Amino acid sequence: MSTIANYGEVQRALQTDTEQILAQIPVSPVTLSMPMDGAGPRICASVKRDDTSRVPASVNVVLDGNPVEIVVEAVGDYQDFKAL
Amino acid sequence: MMVNEGSEGRGGDAEHFSRLFEWLNTNADRLLDDPATNLVAVGIGKKSAGRIDDDSPFCITGFVEKKLSEKEIASRSMSLFADAAAAVSNVGQPKSLDFEIDVIETGSRFRARPGLQFPAAQRGLRGGAAPTLDLQKRFETIRKGIGITNPHRSYPASLSVGTLGFFVRDEGGTTFLVSNNHVIADENKARKGDSIVQPGTLDLTQSELNLMPTLAKLRAQLEIAKLSAFVDIHFHNPQAIPFNEVDCAAAEILSDKRDFSEIARIGLGGDLSGVATPFTIDPVTGEVTGLTRVYKAGRTTGWTEGEVTQLAVVTDVRYGAGLARFRNQLGIAASPDNTGPFSRAGDSGSAIVNARQELVGLLFAGSEMQTLANPIQPVLDALSGALGAKALTVI
């Protein structure tokens, strides 16, 4: 049984389990991040407005051998990043 | 006007300055109150009339609106500053003074700068442009935040510019400027030894472009560094989508080309004071340790203020050569007090600092609303490896 990820686990998962997380969010383009707004540990998935419904409510990773569930928040505000 | 040449050496500067200061306190009023001297002000300066820390001796400086010849002074019944200084010192002749004096022309009397005050209906018409510092011009004294580029493979057909981020020194004492790969290493296409020029070629006037029609002429005039190393950007390819962590490169400065002696003490917005501790986050409460209010000086938008709003950002970034996927990036939004975005095209390479002037990140990409930066420690680690250095010190 998995536990809900805390802030530390969200940050770590985004840094080390990026491919597994992206594989569970079948939307492109997407920007993933950990918001620092104090509204709870989660991944923010910025996607195009029409794609928000395709973003799952959570993703699962394994950290130190333990299954962890990470809440995903879909936001329809995706914007291209360009090298400046 | 030299009165007593060589009365003090550099070794006695502090004592000499103290004596001049005492002399000034005793005699300044009398000199200024005497209409015959025509003095606007009197102070202590350098005999060279240059910087206060140069090698020439301290002297007493008299300020006049306009320098006059001795004949003109005599015809108007005025006093030479030297004679007046000697008189208040009770030494009779200027040559008996034990310090040097100089006269500087001010052009006018000193006036308080008036505050701007206009009828409310004229608001916006008289204030002039917002204060700004032109970071796009040629700088004689090189510093972080100014425009640079690598013109190889593009000049003169196309023009470019990015930003000089900051400076590092290796254990052997070699100094490098740091910017993005895509600013000074041409998205992996550059070669070691490529010239880095300042200002960027996009910031040259047409007359300057006409004077430097070839790469060789451009390099001869504007080269400030040679590319030393860069970290490859890995682009999407048919086989895989590799992850990147940094977009960075380093170029060895050419100290005979411009003045690099000030780089550690004339930072725009403040001098760098080292590297910030990476952001840490309380696993349970989410409380962040570290200053999240950040600043940058960049070629296009100048000095801006932002807030780190996201950690561990994963996204694709569009380059000229294609898409590249990054992870573990800092997301930054303009602060409410910042006018406009935190960054725009041409700001790439900017050093991002916190309120303690500690280096936080290296700016490299942006969208309409957000800016992305590489966290600084991976940048320094990657550049150390690329340069073959044991460690790099931020200066």
What is the complex's ipTM, to 2 decimals? Answer: 0.90
Contact list, A14 vs chain B (CB under 8 Å): 312, 314, 327-328
Judge whether B118 lies within some domain: no
Round the CA-based radius of gyration of chain A to a whole number and report it. 13
Enumerate the β-bridge partners of residue A31. Answer: A46
Percent of chain B whose pLDDT exceeds 70: 93
Confidence of residue B9 (pLDDT cuts 50, 70, 90): very low
Instruction: Verify that B72 and B195 share a domain, yes or no.
Output: no
B159 and B94 in one domain? no
Say which of A8, A44, A84 has its CB closest to residue B283.
A8
In a domain, B137, yes or no: no
Range(s) of the domain holding residue B62: 10-105
**Domain check: are B244 and B387 in the same one?**
yes
B275 and B388 inside one domain? yes
Residue A32 lies in a domain: yes
- Please give the residue that has the higher pLDDT: either B112 or B15: B15
Are residue B151 and residue B88 in the same domain, yes or no?
no
State the residue range of the domain holding A44. Answer: 3-75
| Section B88-99 average pLDDT | 90
Report CA Rg, chain B. Answer: 27
Of the given ranges (A64-73, B29-38, B145-154, B350-359), which has the lowest mean pLDDT?
Answer: B29-38
Q: Calculate mean pLDDT across residues B191-212.
A: 96
Shortest CA gap B297–chain A (Å): 14
What residues in B contact A16, CB-CB < 8 Å? none
**CB-closest option in A7, A30, A36 to B292:** A36
Pick from A35-44, B2-11, B23-32, B266-275: least confident? B2-11
Residues of A in contact with B347 (CB under 8 A): 84
* Contact present, A52 and A30 (Cβ < 8 Å): no
Give the residue from B71, B105, B139 where a domain finishes: B105
The least confident of B24-33, B183-192, B249-258 is: B24-33
Catalogue the E-assigned strands of B137-222: 147-148, 162-163, 166-169, 175-179, 195-197
Interchain CB distance below 8 Å, A79 and B368: yes
* Among B283, B309, B318, beta carbon nearest to A36: B309
Interface residues from chain A to B (CB-CB < 8 Å): 6-11, 14-15, 18, 21-22, 29-38, 40-41, 44, 77, 79-84
Same domain, B369 and B250: yes
**Residues from chain A contacting residue B284 (CB–CB below 8 Å):** 6-7
Give the pLDDT score at B8.
43
Six-digit token string for B210? 């006409």
Q: With an 8 Å Cβ cutoff, is B364 touching chain A?
A: yes
Kindly report, residue by residue over B11-42, the tens digit of the pLDDT. Answer: 467 788 889 989 998 998 888 888 888 888 88
Bigger pLDDT: B367 or B108? Answer: B367
Q: Is residue B215 part of a domain?
A: yes
Using CA atoms, how far apart are residues A34 and A14, in angstroms rounded to an integer? 8
* Interatomic CA distance for residues B357 and B276, integer angstroms: 8
- Tens digit of pLDDT for each residue in B116-172? 666 777 666 655 556 667 889 999 999 999 999 999 999 999 999 999 999 999 999
Q: Is residue B134 part of a domain?
A: no
Identify all chain B residues contacting A36, using CB atoms and an 8 Å cutoff. Answer: 281, 286, 288, 292, 308-311
Stretch B226-235: mean pLDDT: 98
Specify the higher pLDDT residue, B237 or B287. Answer: B237
B377 closest CA partner among B355, B356, B362, B357: B362
Instruction: Summarize the confidence of residues B228-234 as an average pLDDT.
Output: 98
- Contact of B282 with chain A, judged by CB distance below 8 Å, is answered with yes
Q: Is A35 part of any domain?
A: yes
Q: What residues of B are in contact with residue A37 (Cβ under 8 Å)? A: 309
Q: Of B105, B135, B164, which residue constitutes the final position of a domain?
A: B105
Calculate how close chain A gets to B116, using CA atoms only, in Å.
37
Compare B55 and B23 and report the one with higher pLDDT.
Answer: B23
CB B343 within 8 A of CB B296: yes
Identify the pLDDT of residue B3: 31
pLDDT higher than threshold 50 for residue B5: no
Please state the domain count of chain A.
1
Residue A54: inside a domain: yes
State residue B6's pLDDT score: 39
Place of tokens 């794609």: A51
Scanning chain B, the segments in alpha helix (DSSP H) are 13-33, 70-75, 81-88, 181-184, 206-211, 215-222, 376-387
- How high is the mean pLDDT of chain B? 89
What is the predicted pLDDT for the residue at B214? 97
Between these two residues, B212 and B110, which has the higher pLDDT value?
A: B212
Final residue in a domain of this structure, among B84, B105, B126? B105
> Residue A21 is encoded by which pair of tokens?
């997380």
Please determine, for residue B267, whether its predicted confidence score (pLDDT) is greater than 80: no
Structural domain includes residue B165:
yes
A-contacting residues in B 81-110 (Cβ below 8 Å): none
CA distance B348 to B363: 5
Closest partner residue to B315 (CB to CB) among A8, A10, A81 is: A81
Res. B221: pLDDT tops 90: yes
Q: What is the pLDDT of residue B1?
A: 28
* Residue among A21, A22, A36 minimizing CB distance to B310: A36
Write down the pLDDT at residue A70: 98
d(CA B274, CA B394) in angstroms, rounded, equals 6
Q: Which residue has the higher pLDDT, B46 or B348?
A: B348
The answer to whether position A83 is within a domain reads no
Residue B130 lies in a domain: no
The mean pLDDT of B269-281, rounded to a whole number, is 89
In a domain, A52, yes or no: yes
Q: How confident is the model at residue B393 (pLDDT cuts 50, 70, 90)?
A: very high
Cα B86 off chain centre by: 43
Same domain, B254 and B377: yes
Domain with residue B276: its CATH number is 2.40.10.10
| Digit-coded pLDDT (tens) for B302-312 | 999 999 999 99
Looking at residue B107, its pLDDT comes to 82
Give pLDDT, residue B130. 61
Which residues of chain A have a CB within 8 Å of the CB of B306?
none
Tally the domains of chain B: 2
Is residue A65 domain-resident? Answer: yes
Higher-confidence position of B128 and B338: B338
Q: How far is A35 from chain B (nearest CA, A)?
A: 5
